[in-house]
Chains A and B, each alone.
Chain A
Amino acid sequence: MATAEHQVQVPVTDHAATSTGLPNMKLAIWLFLASDCLLFGALISTYVLYRGASVTGPYPADVFDIPYTSVSSFVLLASSLTMVLALASIQRGDPARMRVWLLATAMLGLTFVGGQVYEFTTFAQEGLTLSTNVFGTSFYVLTGFHGAHVTVGILMLLTVVGMSFGGRITQDRAETVEIVGLYWHFVDIVWIVIFTVVYLIPTGTPPGA
């Protein structure tokens, strides 16, 4: 091979195109979410393993209020729509409207988390705590872990709103909003799985009931 060929150089720019064409941040968040799937996978497996394993009550059927949780699930899922609208706004170059939709998303998320706090309090009053039985143990840790994810998401949304007031979120940096959005949608999708596995699939009659 001729050496001259090797000395062909490309210009160095600050925004060198990536090898895949995908922005680094986006690839990173996808990898992180894939990794996060395993976190929830392990927790959901634990919950499933301990279905019907509690030796003492209260059992799921004693405490669950499915209509109530369905409403709060709907609120969380609706927040995915407002998230999409927020991203669409900034991609159109409308930061004011983006802030409105981001705040709406955060409010819906907050409603969900508030609903969860209310639910936990009610359950605790009905006698189900972290240490009551393996149902309480695996239920609170799984749903609480998800609630913590939603809370982190809300903090991220509010941070983006704050940064937008500082002029840091512009049309050409809509990627930031997109990445927060990916995280937000992921947390919503995980909730669909958790809601189905934990609330909707019946456990059967508890022993001795």
Chain B
Amino acid sequence: MRLDVVLRVVTKLLLPFIIVFGFYVQFHGELGPGGGFQAGVIIGACVILYAIMFGLENAMRVLSVTAVEKMISLGVLLYLGTGFAGMVMGGEFLNYSVLEHDPVHGQHLGITLIELGVLITVAGTMIAIFYAFAGRGR
């Protein structure tokens, strides 16, 4: 139990930094290594760590099973939506250059949006699988 306290305190200290690092990887992915997939895994691992340390019920209160399952499809929908937005604005499917007046800005916007979609789907899937596994053991 004494060890447990150390782990809990360290986890509490680390969690915010892990989340910030996850978002750093997400939004800095255009400049340095990283992107939606890696960031999604980091964010997912963050919730999994919380669930391991503080119990599944507490984690599910932060992020319920329904919310996680919706995240999985929301990410794909965001990705597809960005693709179709390109079509509506007069380009091809997944052509981001038409999203704004300046093609380079459009590319930025498009890449940010689809990376966000990847992040949401990946994080949701990781957490959902972990919930499913951990929920079975009881």
Query: Does chain A bind chain B?
Result: no
Using a CB–CB cutoff of 8 Å, the interface residues on chain A facing chain B are none
Using a CB–CB cutoff of 8 Å, the interface residues on chain B facing chain A are none
